[in-house]
Each structure stands twice: as C-alpha cells, then as structure tokens.
Amino acid sequence: MTQFVGGNQLKLLRNGAEYFPALEAAIKSAQHEIYLQTYIYEADAIGVNIGNLLKQAARRGVSVNVLLDGFGSKDLPKSLVAELNAAGVQIMFYRPKISPWTLKKSRLRRLHHKMVVIDCKIGFIGGINIIDDFDVPNRMPNNVPPRIDYAVQVEGNLIATMALGAHRLWRRISYTHLRALNASGTIPLENILLQTAKVKPTNQGTKAALVFRDNMLHRRDIEDAYLSAIVHAKSEIIIANAYFVPGRRFRQALLEAAKREVKITLLLQGRMEYFLMFATHAFYSDFLKNGIEIYEYRKSFMHSKVAIIDSHWATVGSSNIDPFSLFLAREANVLVKDTAFATELRADVLATIQAGAHQISPKQWAQGNIAKRVASWLAYGLVRWFLGLIGHANEQ
C-alpha cells in the first residue's frame, strides 16, 4: 500500500529551462554526497555543464555517484566518462550489455528513472533526462518549441525515502560490478534508515509518496497507484503521457470511470518516434465511443509522464503507460495529494493542449485514418508478440 507522508515542500519544474538551473544550484551547494541516476546522459551543452559541476563537487570532497543506463547512455563519449572519473566522480552503467543479437528479456530491463538526491536534503524526480530540451528526434527546425516534460524538486520528509532508494540501488549495482564501495563523504545508510523511521504524521507541508517499479518486490506499484486513483476518481482524470499503450486492467479502469461520468482527457504524443508507438491508436475507437477525449500534441515532442485526478491527486515521474515501463524498467514516480500542486500541474497540461494539441473526434477517427488504424493493429500485434515473449501476454 502506498504510504503518503506530510511535511514536504514540492516545486513543479517545467522542462529543462526550470529543471537544470535548480539542479545546478543544488549541486553547487552539495557538501556530502550526490546521487544522480538517469536513463540518458547526453554530452551536449547541458551534459557538459552538469559534468563540470559534478567534477567541482568531487574535488571539494563531495561523494559523487552517477548511475546511467547502459542503453540510454550508450553514446556517452568514453573521453567524458574518463574526465569525470579522473576528477573523482564515480560512474556505473546499469546493464551495459546491449547486444542486438539476443531477445533475452533481461536485456530489456532498463534503468529508466530520473532521480537526484543531494545531502539527504534536496531531491529531484520526474521525466527529464540530462539532455537539452531541443535535442529531439529528426532535429526539428529552430522555431519549434522545446520538448515538453516535468520534474519535481523535493524537500522534507520524503527525501529520506528517496535517499534510501538511491543508496540501495547504488550498492546493489556496485556488488554486481564487483566494485568496492567508496564511503568517503557519504551519509551512512544507518542514518538514513533512522531518519526514515523518525518520520511522523504531520498536517504541515504537502503529502507525497515515492513509488518505485522494479522486477523484484515492486513490480506493479506504479500501475496499482494509477489504478487506485482512477477507481476513486469522482469528476475528472487528466493523463499526459508520451508512450501510451495501456494494458487490459488500465483500459478497463478508464472505461469504468467514463461510465461513472468522470470526464477523462488524454494528452498523447502526436509525433511518432518509432513504429510501435502506433499501437496507441488501437484503443482510440473504444475510448472515443465512451466519451474519452483524446488530444495529440504535434507542435513539438512531448515526453511527459504526468496525471491529475479530481484536482487533488497528481503524479509526476518517469513511467510511461506501456509494457516497457510497467513490466520491465526501473521507474520512479512521486505521488502528490495536494490541491495547489495538482491545480498548478492541471493548468499547465491544459495550457499545453490549448497551445499545441489536436483533438481527435469520434467522427474523424471513424471516417478517416484508415492507414493509421491498419498500422495501429500491426503495431499492437507486435506488442502482443513481445508481451508473449516476456511472459505478460495476458496483460493485453
């Protein structure tokens, strides 16, 4: 069961324009330790600048620990990794073996979350990788807006849970890499456990919860958190998600909510990055017939993984609503029960819809888009085949 704790100060960060300055300021202020875990680390201006700040932190005695995904960050130059290592930054890659000649599902289990914890005092969680907002597929024209994404800056009681998760994952990967743990400058794990145990109920600050998804004890935690919120929705559900191929339970929950006359709005990616994304369209007809509103964001690329329910419950994180995120990858979402936070996020998503989204009408979808519908069922068939390969065929 998801445990919400009060006593938090949360700040919604929109895109890299707000996220990176906040992250850079926190790194500059670090005194003891930095844990940075991300799927993509790009050696662009953003990545180089963050790298320089990490090197400076390591040189002043801060324990800097960077965990990158072996596939998402496979193009990170070895020269940059060497520079960081030479300055004292510890770097590890999660599942670095990415041979294209194997279909083992372990190869598809990626580190997809984006989380930073500094000094057990401030943290960041969301969907933003270490990459420039304008570094998007197909190198779109300069006048196109940046990628749409979100993160949350966290201070307060939830930080202990974030730090505990970061420490434990770093230790686990260290053991698999047979690396000696460098404890210099780090906050002892025992202290973090003690801090977690001391968290007491409070009506002060924002109530929030951290939800991880892994392939051990927390396989369905993020999906179950979504489903619980959807089942209890009374008036409105807004989901903005870049890769949306929901499983059977998720689809049924949305359709049942629609039957209860809950207003449901889906903001989805309108620009297809790869063929399997067409599987999203396989559910359009059923959703539209049941009154669910669907908008496709086409102005630029949308990378959001957020939801708002009844203007009180919200989530921001790394988890897409597709088989890769819900059944394979390590993901992390923050859940928030706070009207002010949810209202702010809701307003921003609705503004995005107003500024650059195209609504799909039931009539339009029924009468046209034949090619899209054919592509959607071909893509969905591939998704079904893939799920059978990894043992989750019954989920669809």
Structure tokens belonging to residue 347: 């307003």
Distance CA 60, CA 63 (A): 9
Q: Residue 270 burial (CB < 10 Å; 0-12/13-18/19+)?
A: middle
Structure tokens given for 309: 């329910």
**Token pair recorded at residue 14:** 């929109």
DSSP string, 348-396: HHHHHHHHHEEEEPHHHHHHS-HHHHHHHHHHHHHHHHHHHHHT-GGG-
Active site residues: 112, 114, 119, 303, 305, 310
Dihedral-angle region of residue 53 (phi above 0 means left; psi in -120 to 50 means alpha; beta otherwise): alpha
For 302-363, the DSSP string reads B--EEEEETTTEEEEES--BSHHHHHTSBEEEEEEE-HHHHHHHHHHHHHHHHHHEEEEPHH
What's the rounded Cα separation, in Å, for the pair 332 and 113? 5
From 72, 111, 95, 90, select the one nearest 34 (Cα to Cα): 90
* Tokens coding 115: 């989380």
Of 66, 53, 63, the C-alpha closest to 26 is 53
Beta strands in the chain (DSSP E): 5-14, 33-38, 63-69, 90-94, 114-118, 122-126, 150-156, 206-213, 236-241, 263-269, 293-297, 305-309, 313-317, 331-337, 357-360
